Amino acid sequence: MRGALPSSLALLAMLGLNACAPMPHPGSAATSGETITVAVGPCFGFCPVYSTSVAPDGTVRFEGQRHTAVLGERARMAGMSTYRRLARDLAPFRPADGTEATIDCSAAVTDTSPYIITWTDPAGRKTSATVQSGCPGGAGQALVQRLRALPGQLGIADWAKQTTRPGASRG
């Protein structure tokens, strides 16, 4: 019986220490190893259309589709701190795991580019949020401001730069 008491106390102490350990925030990309993809869709004019993804190790992948300086795929290493910052900046707008949401705007400006943010976990489960780039107010406005700064933060601004080619159609 005497040996059981110290063992029980040791177990309780270990459990108590675990209770003090920081717990990952539910839905936090930085703690779950999710890849974060931001796709910028077409507008009524000659807006850049591209997607970029950032892996937890900081690898940035870019695919220019239309009206970008670079068409096709490129990759660069931005670093884990860039990934962590992006995950932190987008966390307030991330819907519940496995769901899709539209971020509220005070008014919908429909001829602007949509942004679609997708968090993909290691098992392939996707969570996504959509917002219009012309969002003049509400939660969407704060998100759009963060997304407009994204090319510079990821080092892809020169690739994503708006470029109109002869004969290219709008949209």
pLDDT digits (tens, 9 = 90+) for 53-94: 999 999 999 999 999 999 999 999 999 999 999 999 999 999
Q: Is residue 47 part of a domain?
A: yes
Place of tokens 């107010």: 137
Task: Indicate whether 133 belongs to any domain.
Answer: yes
In-domain check, residue 171:
no
Q: Mean pLDDT across the stretch 11-19?
A: 39
Whether residue 165 is contained in a domain is answered as no
For residue 89, the enclosing domain spans 26-160
Report whether pLDDT(101) > 90: yes
- How many structural domains are present in the chain? 1
Q: Pick the closest to residue 94 from 111, 72, 77, 117 (CA basis).
A: 117
Instruction: Return the pLDDT at 67.
Output: 96
* Torsion angles phi and psi, residue 32, rounded to 5: -110, 0
In this predicted structure, the answer to whether residue 133 has a pLDDT above a threshold of 60 is yes
**Has residue 130 been placed in a domain?**
yes
For residue 166, is it within any domain?
no
**What are 100's strand-pairing partners?**
128
Helices 139-154, 80-90: axis angle to 10 degrees equals 170
pLDDT of 167 higher than 50: yes
User: Between 21 and 157, where is the model more confident?
Assistant: 157
For residues 75 and 62, give the distance between their C-alpha atoms in angstroms, rounded to a whole number: 6
Q: What angle do CA 145, 147, 148 make, to 5 degrees?
A: 65
Cα–Cα nearest to 51, from 163, 147, 169: 147
The whole-angstrom separation of Cα 169 and Cα 69 is 15
- pLDDT, the chain, mean: 85
Q: What radius of gyration, in Å, describes the C-alpha atoms of the chain?
A: 21
94 exposure class (CB count in 10 Å sphere: 0-12, 13-18, 19+) = buried
Does residue 151 fall inside a structural domain?
yes
Q: Which residue has the higher pLDDT, 148 or 15?
A: 148
Q: What CATH number is associated with residue 81?
A: 3.30.1560
In a domain, 169, yes or no: no
